[in-house]
Chain A
Amino acid sequence: MAETAASPTQSSAEQNLSARVSPARQLAEAFTAGSLAGTVELSELPFLTMVGLRADAGSETAQRLAAATGGLPAASGAVATTGDTSVLWLGPSEFLVVAPTEAHESLGGDLIPALREALGNDAGQVVDLSANRTTFELVGPRVRAVLEKGCSLDLHPRVFKTGTAFSTEIANIPAILWKTGEDSFRIFPRASFAEFLGRWLLDAMREYASPEVP
């Protein structure tokens, strides 16, 4: 967690960061307590850099944005990853760029200025959405069972492939679900839904703390 005590040696960017409170900060201890090592673990990855892009697919604008991000995904579920920057498909002309915290403009990152420059004055959007959503990481062999309690997508690995992401509903709230590995998902709920979804996931995980009834 980004809980670094402020000290005189910090840069102003670091001080800014230490003053921020992530949307699910109040659940950090509960996430630790509710996580089951080797079964299913939940944590918040706060303050990832997220940028909303809108541009007509195939347009010159989209091509310039693609050049800046390293590529735009083409269809539902697709994620275009280059280095530590990923672009998720949200709609035919809407994308979400996800990058590490330090990619943010306020911390000296050049991702957002580069995208803004690529858009220029053309029709479209480059919007800093870093504060719009937070990120939950759910890992472990039981993640699918936990998510299946509140997500109607088919999460079976033969259908839901590693490296794909879908905008859908989890526990009746809108969220983006990104399968980052065989047994790991990132979930992006809106900041205002973070506490609800966090508590819902803890509740859904709870049964796996007990030994399985044969």
Chain B
Amino acid sequence: MLLIPCPNCGPRDETEFHYGGQAHVPYPENPNELTDTEWSRYLFYRENPKGIFAERWVHSTGCRQWFNMLRDTVSYDIQAVYPMGTRRPDLAADPAVEAGTASTAADSTTTGTAAPSLSATSLAASPTRTAPEGATK
């Protein structure tokens, strides 16, 4: 069971969330101009790294908000949580980001408090209106 640090509600059980697949996949600007190969890339090809993966999650039974997360697909450690529409954080450039592993956080068994520790998860600001990127771009 993953313990996922929701940027709005704090750490919650994985069962409260739904998975949204790879993050940062923009809808093509002009789908009609794509070749079949390019269109197949958008439609069927996603990254499948063994290691850090940028992915989308939605806190379905909590705040119902989407967010992005960097997670290690081998250790399942959660390395960063960041708002939809923002760039993927550079883990190497910001060592503080790596402190945000859900499984080892000191408060990992607490409820979402009014002020979840955003600094540990590289969140500059609380996301406001968010939607899956693929749906809006």
**A is bound by B:** yes
A contacts, CB < 8 Å to B? 56-57, 74-78, 90-94, 152-155, 159-160, 164, 166-169, 172, 174
12 extra interface residue pairs, beta carbon distance < 8 Å, beyond A76-B8, A174-B61: A75-B8, A76-B113, A77-B111, A90-B63, A92-B8, A159-B111, A159-B113, A167-B61, A168-B111, A169-B13, A169-B16, A174-B60
Q: Which 5 pairs from chain A and chain B are nearest by CB?
A: A91-B63, A174-B61, A153-B111, A75-B114, A76-B9
Interface size of B by Cβ–Cβ distance < 8 Å? 25
Q: Which of B19-66 contact A (CB under 8 A)?
A: 60-65
Contact B16 A168 (CB under 8 A): yes
Contact B61 A92 (CB under 8 A): no
Contact B111 A154 (CB under 8 A): yes
Contact B126 A92 (CB under 8 A): yes
Prevailing SS type, chain A contact patch? loop
Contact B15 A172 (CB under 8 A): yes
Q: Smallest distance from the beta carbon of A162 to chain B beta carbons, Å?
A: 13
**Considering only CB atoms, which chain A residue lies closest to B15 in the complex?**
A169
Chain B residues with CB below 8 A from A76, complex form: 8-10, 62-63, 112-114, 116
Contact A160 B129 (CB under 8 A): no
Contact A167 B111 (CB under 8 A): no
A-B contacts, 14 of them at CB < 8 A, read A56-B128, A75-B8, A76-B8, A76-B9, A77-B112, A91-B62, A93-B129, A153-B112, A154-B110, A167-B62, A168-B16, A168-B61, A169-B61, A172-B15
Chain B residues with CB below 8 A from A172, complex form: 15
Partner among B10, B64, B111, B127 whose Cβ is within 8 Å of the Cβ of A160: B111
Chain A residues with CB below 8 A from B114, complex form: 74-78, 164
**Considering only CB atoms, which chain B residue lies closest to A91 in the complex?**
B63
Chain A residues with CB below 8 A from B63, complex form: 76, 90-92, 94, 167
> CA A90 – CA B127 in complex, angstroms?
14
Q: A93 and B128 in contact (CB under 8 A), knowing A76-B8, A168-B62?
A: yes
